[in-house]
Amino acid sequence: MSSSERRWQPSREGFLEELADGVWAYVQPDGSWFLSNAGLIRAGEVVVHVDSAATVRRTHALRAAADALGLPRRRVVIATHHHGDHTNGNATLDPELLVAHRNVPQELAEAILVPPPGVFSPVDWGVVEVRSPDLLVDGWLGLELGGRTLEVAARGLPAHTRGDAVVWLPAAKVLFAGDLCFVGGTPFALGGSVAGWIETLAWLRGFDADVVVPGHGPVATMQALEPVERYLRFVWHVAHEAHEAGVGPLEAARSVDLGEFGDWRDPERIVGNLHRALAELGGGEVDVLAAFGDMIAFNGGRPLTCYA
Ligand SMILES: [Zn+2]
């Protein structure tokens, strides 16, 4: 095993990658379920965190990494969306200001942030408290903090969730894309929209980024958006055929060849994605618990693998 392969095995802590002066990605291998990336941005007297982590223990590790860099203890957190792997640690980070998309409070109210036992392999989540956002973004927000310009932007369509935002650093040309971008892992649209995500990617291409930090997986460039779009178009195509044939999401997923996407992490997400796409085509609602049940069935009846 090479050192880069070893570095990309599931690990108990993330590692820092410096992207520009005072800008870091905190990357948690292997990027599978609940192993999300975060960002750290020095901004004068405060540190801006992009997202937190899934468990209290992992959030302590993230905070220790920020402290080891000598970053300020005064924190602003920008949440890219409400999912637990990106927000469960927000109360532990205890920010002076928490910024999120305008739909995040409702998403938080409806979400199951800590999954019930049996869905994933066992995880020590710690005591997770919901921290509500203080400032909501509808479209675009420019922030001038400590001599640094940050922008929080949202396309406004359901995509990965109903409340996705990205963080853009125009001077450094760094884009924190949240879960609108996955690298080496299967994108997950169950709580959003396959069609809306494809449209959101077209908007995302408007950013002139040199560096893209995905929500999961290694730091990348704008090229990383291409396989995400190919996958979503593949899901949309499979869903159309299943819709016309009257086939359900699990059956459709079992009969399809994932092709170039087959060795991505968390392939069972094809089932959840087809639940969402078929609901979009049929005009119905998604039953999230049924979708996870079908994903477990697709996974051979075993809980989904989670290293958080
Ligand atoms: Zn997510």
Cα(81) to centroid(ligand 1), Å: 7
pLDDT over threshold 80, residue 47: yes
Task: Name the residues around ion ligand 1, CB cutoff 5 A.
Answer: 83, 179
How distant, in Å, are the alpha carbons of 47, 54, 297 from that of 69? 11, 22, 44
Q: Would you call 80 exposed, middle or buried from its count of C-beta atoms within 10 A (0-12, 13-18, 19+)?
A: buried
Rounded CA-CA distance 48/228 in Å is: 27
In this predicted structure, what is the pLDDT of residue 22?
98
Cα–ligand 1 centroid distance for 245 (angstroms)? 31
**What's the whole-model pTM score?**
0.97
The confidence score (pLDDT) of residue 53 equals 98
What kind and span of H or E run contains 226? helix 225-245
Q: Report which residue type is found at 296.
A: I
Rounded distance from Cα 179 to ligand 1 centre (Å): 5
What is the CA(184)–ligand 1 centre distance, in A? 15
Distance 53 CA to ligand 1 centre (A): 11
Residue percentage of the chain with pLDDT more than 70:
98
Compute the distance from residue 50 Cα to the ligand 1 centre, in Å. 13
Strand arrangement, sheet containing 148-153: 140-145, 148-153, 166-169, 174-182, 211-216
Q: pLDDT value at position 115?
A: 92
Q: Tell me, in angstroms, the distance from the centre of ligand 1 to residue 161's CA.
A: 7
**How far does the centroid of ligand 1 lie from the alpha carbon of residue 80, in Å?**
9
- The Cα 307–Cα 280 span in angstroms is 31
Q: How far is the CA of 55 from the centre of ligand 1 (A)?
A: 14
Tokens, residue 247:
């086939």
Query: Is the Cβ–Cβ distance between 132 and 91 less than 8 Å?
Result: no
- 142 CA distance to ligand 1 centroid (A)? 23
Using the mean position of ligand 1's atoms as its centre, give its distance from the Cα of residue 164 in Å. Answer: 9
pLDDT above 70: residue 192? yes
Judged against a pLDDT cut of 90, whether residue 222 lies above it is answered with yes
What stretches of 176-224 show up as alpha helix (H) in DSSP?
194-204
69 band by pLDDT with thresholds 50, 70 and 90: very high
What mean pLDDT, rounded, does the chain reach? Answer: 97
Confidence of residue 257 (pLDDT cuts 50, 70, 90): very high
Judge whether residue 112 has pLDDT over 90: no
Mean pLDDT along residues 65-73? 98
Of 7-16, 37-46, 212-221, 273-282, least confident by mean pLDDT is 7-16
Task: Read off the pLDDT of each residue in 78-88 and give the average, rounded to a whole number.
Answer: 98
Distance 1 CA to ligand 1 centre (A): 30
Instruction: Measure 42 CA to ligand 1 centroid, in angstroms.
Output: 25
Confidence at residue 301, expressed as pLDDT on a 0 to 100 scale: 98
- Distance from the CA of 82 to the center of ligand 1, in angstroms? 7
Distance 19 CA to ligand 1 centre (A): 22
pLDDT of residue 1: 61
C-alpha to C-alpha distance for 270 and 272, rounded to whole angstroms: 6
Averaged pLDDT, 167-177: 98
If we measure between CA atoms, which residue out of 164, 217, 165 comes closest to residue 186? 217
Query: Does residue 131 surpass a pLDDT of 80?
Result: yes
- Give the percent of the chain with pLDDT over 90: 95
DSSP code of 303? P
Q: Which residues are registered as beta bridge partners of 185?
A: 265
Structure tokens at 111: 């979400």
Confidence of residue 114 (pLDDT cuts 50, 70, 90): confident
Q: How far is the CA of 166 from the centre of ligand 1 (A)?
A: 12
Residue 83 Cα to ligand 1 midpoint, Å, equals 5
Which amino acid belongs to residue 110?
E
In order of start, what are the domains of the chain with their CATH numbers? 3-223 (3.60.15.10)
Q: What is the pLDDT of residue 173?
A: 98
